[in-house]
Amino acid sequence: METPEFTFELRVCQWAERNWPPSSDARSGGRVLVARQLGTKHRRWDTIVVETDARRLAARSRFGSARLDSDLLGVVRHAPAEWAYYRDALPDPGYPWRYVRETIHTAADRGILDARRRGNRIEIRRKWEYPAWVDRIIAIENKPDLDASAAESLTDQLQRDVALALADEVWVATRTTEETVEPALLERLPIETGILTVTTADREATGKRTDARVAWHPRSLDRSAVGTRILERGRDPSAARFEYAEPEWKATKRLEIAERAYERGWRSYVDSMRPDCRWFSLRSIGGDTLPWCGAKECSQPSADCSQNCPSFEPEPPNWRTRGWPLEGGPGAAVKRLLAEQRRRNRSETDRR
């Protein structure tokens, strides 16, 4: 039976949160944050694993749970240790300074930067040094049913990922089958791409958890080298169009991706579903927590769980008054539960 990609993706995220990195030579003291559907304007990866360690993650946590976007990073990372006029302290942003002033006010309101006015000048001072908290970024493409045609369509995308080398490693995660992964299939994927075969239990209370095995080890990509962005390719290699990605651009993008992963984690999937539907719940299946639709009797894909779903029924109003007086009904409780798990995972990761 085919596994919906969304469900598979949630299982890979939960497995990675428990088990990454998959090799036995794991770094001691290493920690991970797992998120989904992140990347750049042109490319989103299914699963992102950010490798870090507890000490630097704790240093990052001083800046709050919300992400720092590129504007905030530009200010916070360059803020001086002593009071200074902001234009002297910060590099030229390449756009009008008035936008920088807005960002300074935002950072001060969030309590992550000191700012004061001296005459008609704004001075800034850092509260803490922004830590270099990101070690490696791992990109995983989830393809539960990897057959020859799926491998074919993945190959072009993976070759682009390898050429750009924005992530340190690129993997494909696929469902375990009775057979070993065919050598011919492996040959179609770029040799730099790792392959994980994932075994899932499809019923409750099997006593088995989702597990994964490395079928092919990836090569580390050079994140500090100039990357190649393939814009167009045809049958004739001489007609291909590409441009270079400078290491500075890559470093900035990596940090932005890591910041979004820090804020969202993988549990934010519930924000694009309808937990306020009377049929929505969470269920533990094979050790993984998955959304469950009581009307369809399955773990529903997020795309199906929307206002347009023909089986959607809002929570009965009395659900919101009996036992759920102030905080809304069970749907709101599901959102709170996942947000709390996300927060706890991040802070437990901080403490470990």
DSSP state of 84: E
Which of 6, 300, 330, 331 contacts ligand SF4 by CB under 6 A?
A: 300
Kindly identify the residues of this chain, within the stretch 260-279, that bind ligand SF4 according to CB under 6 A. 274, 277, 279
- Which is nearer to ligand SF4, 27 or 296 (by Cβ)? 296
295 lines the binding site for ligand SF4 (CB under 6 A): yes
Only one of the segments 79-87, 141-149, 170-178, 309-317 lies at the binding site for ligand SF4 (rule: CB under 6 A); that segment is 309-317
| Residue 350: C-alpha distances to residues 28, 30, 55, 220 (Å) | 15, 11, 7, 26
Closest CA to 18 of 266, 339, 221, 291: 266
> Measured between alpha carbons, how far is 47 from 265 in angstroms, rounded to an integer?
10
165 or 309: CB nearest ligand SF4: 309
The residues, any chain, with a CB within 8 Å of residue 290's CB and separated by 6 or more, are 7, 10, 11, 282, 283, 284, 299
Residues β-bridged to residue 51:
32, 136
- Site residues (CB under 6 A) for ligand SF4, limited to 107-126: none
In total, the chain counts a number of residues equal to: 352
Binds ligand SF4 by CB under 6 A, chosen from 309, 329, 331, 334: 309
DSSP-assigned states of every residue in 169-220: EEEEEEE--SSPPPHHHHHHS-TT-EEEEEE---STT-S---EEEEEEPPPP
In the complex, the smallest distance separating the C-beta of residue 79 from ligand SF4, rounded to whole angstroms, is 45
Q: Determine if 312 is a binding residue for ligand SF4 (CB under 6 A).
A: yes
Q: Determine if 305 is a binding residue for ligand SF4 (CB under 6 A).
A: yes
Which of 15-23, 123-131, 155-163, 302-310 is the region at the interface with ligand SF4 (rule: CB under 6 A)?
A: 302-310
* Structure tokens given for 120: 């008609």
Asked if 304 touches ligand SF4 (CB under 6 A), the answer is yes
Residue ranges that bind ligand SF4, judged by CB under 6 A: 274, 277, 279-280, 293, 295-296, 300, 304-305, 309, 311-312
